[in-house]
C-alpha cells in the first residue's frame, strides 16, 4: 500500500517530534519564520482573491480553496509551524522527549512564526497591495481584523480548538502518505474545512489582524473603513494580543492536545 496505517504515522510523528524538540534555537526561529511567511502568504492570497466577492459563502469557498496551499508548502518544505507542533505531545506521552523540550520548541517556533507572518502583513500593507479595488482590499482587511478582535474570549478559544483539531489531523494524514501528492492532499482538505467554517488559527491571525491594523494607520484607508461602517475601535495591538491571539492560541493548543491524546491512546505504542 502507498499509505501508512494510523499506528504507523502516529509512531512516525512520535519520532519526528523528538527531532523537532531537539533542533537548535536558530533552526527553530528560521524555520518558524519560513512557516509564518508561508501561512501568511496563503492568507494574503485568499483575501486578495475573495475581498470583492459579495456572497459570503462564495468568498469563504474561494478562501478555503486557496489558503491550504500555505500549510501544504510548510509540510513539504519541512518548515516549523506552532499549531502543527502541538502534536509533539505524542512524543511526550510516549516518553521520547520531555515537556520542557516541547515547550522550548513551541516558544521559539511561535516567535519565528510571528516574525514571518508580520513581514508579509507589513509588505501587503505598505507596498501598495491594499490599493486594490480603489482601497476596497484595505477595507476588507480592516473588516476581517476587526471581526477577529471583536470575538469574546470563550468564542475565540472554541474556534481555535476546532481549527487545530483539523490542522493537526491534516498534519497526521499527510504523514500517512508515502508520496508528495498524497502528503499535499492530506494536508489540504482539513485546512480547507477550517477556513470555510471560519475557525481561528493563531498563526494566520498573525497576518490577518496586523494587516488590518497597518491598513488602519493610513488616513485614506481609515476614512473608507469608517464610511463602510467598520468598527475601528477594536483595531489596536492590545486588543489583538489579549483579545484574540491569546485565546485563539489557547484553543489551538487544546485542539492539538486532544488529537495528540486520541492518536497516542488509540494507536501509540505506550
pLDDT tens-place string over residues 42-92: 999 999 999 999 999 999 999 999 999 999 999 999 999 999 999 999 999
**Distance, CA of 179 to CA of 253 (rounded, Å):** 29
The pair phi, psi for residue 3, each rounded to 5°, is: -135, 145
Residues 6+ apart with CB under 8 A from 166: 190, 191, 193, 194, 199
Burial class for 21, CB neighbours closer than 10 Å (0-12, 13-18, 19+): buried
133/143 Cα distance (integer angstroms): 15
Bridge partners of 3? 177
Mean pLDDT, residues 221-226: 96
Determine what percent of the chain is predicted with pLDDT higher than 90: 91
For residue 270, what pLDDT is reported?
63
Q: Cα 54–63–69 angle (5° rounding)? A: 160
Q: Which residue, among 126, 112, 96, has the nearest Cα to 22 in the 3D structure? A: 96
pLDDT in tens, 96-115: 999 999 999 999 999 999 99
Mean pLDDT for the stretch of residues 13-37: 97
For Cα atoms 190, 192, 197, give the angle at the middle one, nearest 5 degrees: 95
Angle formed by the axes of helices 25-50 and 136-149, nearest 10°? 120
Q: Please tell me the predicted confidence (pLDDT) of residue 123.
A: 97
CA dist 173 and 17 (Å) reads 16
- Region 3-26: mean pLDDT is 93
Amino acid at each position: 500500500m502507498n499509505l501508512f496505517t494510523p499506528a504507523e504515522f502516529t509512531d512516525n510523528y512520535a519520532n519526528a517530534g523528538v527531532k523537532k524538540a531537539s533542533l537548535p534555537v536558530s533552526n527553530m526561529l528560521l524555520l518558524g519564520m519560513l512557516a509564518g511567511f508561508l501561512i501568511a502568504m496563503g492568507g494574503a492570497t485568499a483575501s486578495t482573491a475573495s475581498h470583492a466577492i459579495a456572497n459570503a459563502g462564495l468568498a469563504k469557498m474561494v478562501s478555503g480553496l486557496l489558503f491550504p496551499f500555505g500549510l501544504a508548502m510548510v509540510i513539504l518544505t519541512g518548515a516549523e509551524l506552532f499549531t502543527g507542533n502541538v502534536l509533539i505531545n505524542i512524543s511526550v506521552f510516549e516518553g521520547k522527549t520531555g515537556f520542557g523540550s516541547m515547550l522550548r520548541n513551541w516558544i521559539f517556533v511561535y516567535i519565528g512564526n510571528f516574525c514571518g507572518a508580520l513581514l508579509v502583513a507589513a509588505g501587503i500593507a505598505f507596498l501598495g497591495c491594499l490599493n486594490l479595488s480603489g482601497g476596497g482590499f484595505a477595507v476588507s482587511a480592516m473588516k476581517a481584523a476587526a471581526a477577529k478582535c471583536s470575538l469574546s474570549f470563550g468564542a475565540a478559544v472554541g474556534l481555535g480548538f476546532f481549527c487545530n483539531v483539523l490542522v493537526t489531523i491534516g498534519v497526521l494524514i499527510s504523514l500517512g502518505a508515502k508520496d508528495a501528492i498524497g502528503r499535499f492532499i492530506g494536508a489540504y482538505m482539513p485546512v480547507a474545512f477550517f477556513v470555510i467554517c471560519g475557525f481561528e488559527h493563531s498563526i494566520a491571525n498573525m497576518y490577518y489582524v496586523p494587516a488590518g491594523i497597518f491598513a488602519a494607520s493610513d488616513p485614506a484607508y481609515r476614512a473608507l473603513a469608517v464610511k463602510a461602517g467598520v468598527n475601528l475601535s477594536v483595531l489596536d495591538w492590545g486588543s489583538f494580543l489579549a483579545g484574540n491571539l491569546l485565546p485563539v492560541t489557547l484553543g489551538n493548543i487544546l485542539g492539538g492536545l486532544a488529537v495528540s491524546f486520541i492518536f497516542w491512546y488509540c494507536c501509540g505504542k505506550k
